[in-house]
Structure 1
Amino acid sequence: MAIKTNEGKLIASGLKFGVVVGRFNEFISSKLLGGVIDGLVRHGASEEDIEISWVPGAFEIPLVAQKMANSKKFDALFASVPL
């Protein structure tokens, strides 16, 4: 039996990204957000193609992420909150 392998390309140019970040423990949240932005930009994303939504805590993340997904404006979404 052959192993099936799927590999994606790490090219983010021309794509739109949404990021939902919880303000709970904002010191850590801001570091996580910085890592997301850095990773996207390193792979070719433009900062203009990244939209960030700050929410009060972890409970609001799914609702805002769903709203962003339903908008059909984004190719990918990230959710970041320190627990």
Structure 2
Amino acid sequence: MDAAGLQRGRLTGLILKGDDLLDADQVARQLSLDDAHEARLAAEGAADRIRDKFGPQVIGPAAVFRRAPNPHP
């Protein structure tokens, strides 16, 4: 863009080409371009570490837990 003298640019498309790809089970970490997906993976890893340290009953789906009563109704 600098060579063309443009001050702003807009990305209108993205092409990703993969050569010599490996199966997902052969890589240390799978990359994603989705921020929400990456956040879920980070939270999943944290939950796994908590379960490893404190046991499987410590953390579970949010629907399992009851909301604490409000002390100031």
Task: Report the TM-score, using the length of structure 1 for normalisation.
Answer: 0.27
Higher-Rg structure is: 2
Q: Which has the bigger relative contact order, CA under 8 A and spacing at least 6?
A: 1
